[in-house]
Amino acid sequence: MEKTLVTGSGGFIGANITRMLRNQGYFVVGVDNTDCGDVDLALKYNTTDERLYAKLRDFEFEYIFHFGTPSSVISYNKEPARCYSETTLSQLFMCNYVEKNHAPRKFIFPSSSTVYGGVATRQREDVYPVPRNLYASAKMAVEGISSQCAYMRWNALRIYAGYGDGEEKKGEIASPVCQFLKDILVGRSPTIWGDGSQTRDFVYIKDVIKVIGILMDSEYCGIINVGTGTGTPFKKVVEIINRVNGSSIAPKFVPKPGKYLENLECDTSLSEKVCGKLDYDIERGISSYHTYLKAKQENHSQ
């Protein structure tokens, strides 16, 4: 059985990657510093712990998915030194591990659309990024580290505003779609910063996993956007959720924080060439996620 490594295997995207791999018959070694999730072999370590890489020397992995790093601007604002060092050091350690052991068929890891923070137009992979916060700067750093690794084939996923099944475990660092849905499902007004005109390119987790599955065996290496190509205003997200839920709960608006990103919208030219079109627009994605959360809510109440 072919072996794969997933760091952050208990997290939002990592757990969905793990599910895809196990459904395809792979043996999954999962790494997480809290809960490794539903894997074949669990290694409970932080990805900067050198003892982890000593254990990994016993394996040859067909694929490595390195998603075990801090994944939110909020986390970086609270613990900037820890988040930045964990993100960059774990990338260095993982690349060093691959160089000294066995190069996988693909090494796939998350960057972020936030690297485009200062780019006003639809963001394309070949424009010069203008990161505006430490989280985005850390993602630029891991792209740079990987670009020096001529011994392996890699993809950096500049994921836009990912949301969907399993994200609710992220709590306060979950996406606006998740936060708004959870509020409306319990009859609470969702909170929007500003007037709700700001936009994000919301991409459903099933499409993120579809892209990852295609990239596993794609000849394309390097950076790639993962988004729908459509920016949706936050106030429209609330409208869609109310329509799907059969409710009419109005949001409450509060002042925006400083250094706030107004609009992010993906240029999909490269991703469509490599991976084809995505399956979920914002309405279909929210409808699917609503069904998932309602079922969880009902099961919990029984």
Name the helix (H) or strand (E) containing 243.
helix 234-245
What number is the average pLDDT over the span 261-279? 94
Which two structure tokens, joined as six digits, stand for 257? 């924080």
Least confident of 20-29, 112-121, 148-157, 285-294: 112-121
What number is the average pLDDT over the span 173-202? 95
Least confident of 113-117, 156-160, 180-184, 202-206: 113-117
Task: Report the 10 Å Cβ neighbour count for 40.
Answer: 15
Please give the DSSP secondary-structure letter assigned to residue 133: S
Q: Are 193 and 86 in contact (CB under 8 A)?
A: no
pLDDT at residue 8, as a whole number: 97
99-123 pLDDT, tens digit per residue, is 999 899 999 999 999 999 877 778 9
DSSP states along 188-206: -PPEEETTS--EE-EEEHH
pLDDT at residue 301, as a whole number: 63
Average per-residue pLDDT for the chain: 94
Task: Report the 10 Å Cβ neighbour count for 120.
Answer: 9
Domain regions of the chain by residue span: 69-301
With tokens 């964990």, the residue in question is 86
Q: Tell the burial category of 92 from Cβ atoms under 10 Å away from its Cβ (0-12, 13-18, 19+).
A: middle
- Residue 192 clears pLDDT 90, i.e. is over it: yes
CATH 3.40.50.720 fits 69-301, yes or no: yes
Query: What span, in angstroms and rounded, lies between the C-alpha atoms of 228 and 267?
Result: 8
- Residue 125 clears pLDDT 90, i.e. is over it: yes
User: Which residues, at least 6 apart from 85, have a Cβ–Cβ distance to it below 8 Å?
Assistant: 48
198-255 pLDDT, tens digit per residue, is 999 999 999 999 999 999 999 999 999 999 999 999 999 999 999 999 999 999 999 9
Give the HSE-up count for residue 25: Cα atoms under 13 Å, Cβ half-sphere. 2
- Residue 302 clears pLDDT 90, i.e. is over it: no
The structure's pTM equals: 0.95
Angle between helices 282-301 and 176-185 (to 10 degrees): 50
Least confident of 33-37, 56-60, 226-230, 293-297: 293-297
Q: Are 178 and 205 in contact (CB under 8 A)?
A: no
pLDDT at residue 169, as a whole number: 86
